[in-house]
Structure 1
Amino acid sequence: MSVTDGLILEKLCSPAIWAEGPVWLPQQDAVVFSDVKGNRMFRWQRNGELSLWRSPSHYANGNALDREGRVVSCEHGRRAISRTEADGSVRLLVEKVDGKRFNSPNDVVVRSDGTIWFTDPPYGIISDDEGYHAHSQVIGCYVYCFDPATRQLSIAASDVQRPNGLAFSPDESLLYVADMSVIDFPTLGRRELRVYRVDGMQLVDGRQFAGVDPGIPDGFCVDPQGSIWCSCDDGVILFDSQGQRQGKIAVPERVSNCTFGGPDGDELYITATTSLYRVRIGR
């Protein structure tokens, strides 16, 4: 019997062209998520109210909360990492590496020490659909670590062909990274989750954690038990902490990302194509 059997999928709203980057805001009892192709962001509150959170959003994609409850966002349009301050203003945190612009930061997580970790594939610059068509100024697609306190930026990993979603293990000793390079390299690319040991601002000992099929791994999240809830073409696959598949939540649209939220942290919010969904896990 699958661990995911009996879970009920609820469609909450469908306002987006391409929904991405859900982040739970506990003080607002709400989820904020990006509509990357619509160049805007929405907020859905648990009372059912949907509102426009930001427009334009500079083609924001992935989002995360920092230690002070501020939303940190990956912007395709400005090819940068930004932060929404308590007063609602938006501040650019980092936009260049050694004087060169990033490709298009895609997904982001914030560690408990305040460091910001993000991926930088080219999907926001290959066309005008999710940003602005432009040439890459860097030689590859990397995972970065940025410390906003010291302004130090590090290339944390360079062995991922097309890094996308990322999430820490519960004790933050490991970082999981999605590699969806099969889209660009059909015969040589990967469709897998990789796992790294965190060593300061570096990622070491990288290896395959789990293959993802059908489709590709995009965004994902990790629960307190260390299980990974990962997007795929037709749902959310559940892997245990050893990379063994435990089940799948079927979703009628292509899934992009997911995050936990709700008052007890046991509600899985899923962005999939045009919509935001919810599954009550009931841990």
Structure 2
Amino acid sequence: MGMTRRNILSMGSAGLVAAVAGKAWGQSFPVVLNQRYPDPSVEILDPSFAKYRIYSASVEKLATGMRWAEGPAYFPEEGYLLLSDIPNNRIMKYDEVNETFTVFRSPANFANGNARDREGRLITCEHSVTRRVTRTERDGTITVLADRFEGKRLNAPNDVVVKSDGTIWFTDPLFGIHGNYEGEQAEPEQATNVYRIDADGKLNAVITDLVNPNGLAFSPDEKKLYVVEWKGTPNRSIWSYDVGADGTASNKTKLIDAADFGALDGFRVDRDGNLWCGYGSNGALKEKPISVAGRDVYELKGKSEDLDGVMVFNPQGKPIGFIRLPERCANLAFGGPKGNRLYMASSHSLYALYVGAQGAV
């Protein structure tokens, strides 16, 4: 049975769970979350965001059945999106032509971030066990680009971006080795750095002063590099660096502070320089519990139902728009034939929305 909104509603929750279990992800699964135009899920926080909301475009749920969706990368030549399902140790493939969702690679060495290089090849951060950055060649063979720095193993390569000169930049926090849910627990051997792989294969530690750097992206002119600091103080933050002609990063400046206890994660930049950021609760608890059914319960400082989605900031760091989702968005990518379809990897599911913006890269 094809997945349509009509038969999903008729199934009920038990039927839906059964339908998406097993190999149901190979079926078409578009679900429109809201029927009204404009979609109330797309919130304008500043008038400047109005031009990016398409009046007759709605948030669509394209696929589900993952445990933690991450690292989407779009391949325009073939018209498909790859994204990681980290705890299930696989990379998934959404074909936007056939509207199918299938396994691309399993096992995948607990892949996290993915990117397309300038020659159309897949770059992957394998963030546990192998703890390396790889390139998938056109014949399917895998080339290891980086797995050690100064003789010691990398921690857990997380997110990756490819600059126009072909250099590959990635973050190396601890998430893939600090437990056994998204890989295998292990002791770190490095500081949590941001690295650059040059065309000759040399690995350089470009940024060394961030605690667990996460998502990263360049401004449209590539003169600035933005990096999420997962352990920012007092909140998660995005820092801006000036990028020199020699590939160095300097003039560290805080651009965004998630003061609402939002969980800044992966993000992308559009051609106007706006930052489209995966968002959700950072899990911080209130200092004092409340009584619930006779039990003391510590609530979240930032509630998931208020924060889950995509927060859009202008180049000055001001929030201008919010796309509300029923699940926390970890990362996203611009895709579609015209680069204006926003794909959102969100906890268990993949969502999409056509917007009046195009990705910068």
TM range (shorter): over 0.9
The Cα shift of 1:214 comes to 3.9
Which range is displaced more, 268-277 or 210-219? 210-219
The Cα shift of 1:274 comes to 0.7
Match of 1:64 in 2: 115
- Report if the CA contact (8 A) 1:121-1:164 is conserved: yes
Match of 1:55 in 2: 106
Residue identity matched to 1:127: G
Q: Secondary structure at the match of 2:77?
A: helix
Alignment of 1:231-246 (within 5 A): 231-233=278-280, 234-246=308-320
Q: Which runs of 5+ in 2 are unaligned?
A: 1-43, 281-307
Q: Secondary structure at the match of 1:124?
A: helix
Q: Which runs of 5+ in 1 are unaligned?
A: 183-187
Q: Secondary structure at the match of 2:71?
A: strand
Say if 2:267 is the partner of 1:220: yes
- Report if the CA contact (8 A) 2:114-2:160 is conserved: yes
The Cα shift of 1:89 comes to 1.6
Alignment of 1:101-120 (within 5 A): 101-120=153-172
Match of 1:29 in 2: 79
Distance of 1:90 and 1:36 partners within structure 2? 19
Distance of 2:103 and 2:82 partners within structure 1? 9
- Report if the CA contact (8 A) 1:192-1:216 is conserved: no
Distance of 2:211 and 2:64 partners within structure 1? 32
Distance of 1:8 and 1:180 partners within structure 2? 31
Alignment of 1:141-156 (within 5 A): 141-147=192-198, 149-156=199-206
In structure 2, which of residues 185, 200, 225 is the aligned counterpart of residue 175 of structure 1?
Answer: 225
Distance of 1:35 and 1:90 partners within structure 2? 19
Report the TM-score when normalising by structure 2.
0.74
Distance of 1:202 and 1:20 partners within structure 2? 28
The Cα shift of 1:244 comes to 1.0
Alpha-carbon RMSD across the aligned residues, in angstroms, is 1.3
Distance of 1:93 and 1:129 partners within structure 2? 25
Alignment of 1:2-13 (within 5 A): 2=45, 3=49, 8-13=58-63
Distance of 1:250 and 1:90 partners within structure 2? 37
The Cα shift of 1:8 comes to 2.1
Q: Secondary structure at the match of 1:230?
A: strand
Which range is displaced more, 210-219 or 94-103? 210-219
- Report if the CA contact (8 A) 2:235-2:261 is conserved: no
Distance of 1:214 and 1:135 partners within structure 2? 29
The Cα shift of 1:215 comes to 2.5
Identity of aligned residues (%): 42
Say if 2:245 is the partner of 1:193: no
Q: Secondary structure at the match of 2:195?
A: strand
Q: Secondary structure at the match of 2:216?
A: strand
The Cα shift of 1:189 comes to 4.6
The Cα shift of 1:236 comes to 0.4
Match of 2:336 in 1: 262
> Greater strand percent: which structure?
1
The Cα shift of 1:162 comes to 1.6
Report the TM-score when normalising by structure 1.
0.94
- Report if the CA contact (8 A) 2:213-2:227 is conserved: yes
Residue identity matched to 1:219: G
- Report if the CA contact (8 A) 1:259-1:268 is conserved: yes
In structure 2, which of residues 257, 262, 268 is the aligned counterpart of residue 211 of structure 1?
Answer: 257
Residue identity matched to 2:238: L
In structure 2, which of residues 338, 344, 348 is the aligned counterpart of residue 274 of structure 1?
Answer: 348
Give CA-to-partner distance per residue, 1:12-43, whole Å, 9 cap, x none: 00031100000001111111000011100111
- Report if the CA contact (8 A) 1:161-1:189 is conserved: no
- Report if the CA contact (8 A) 1:73-1:83 is conserved: yes
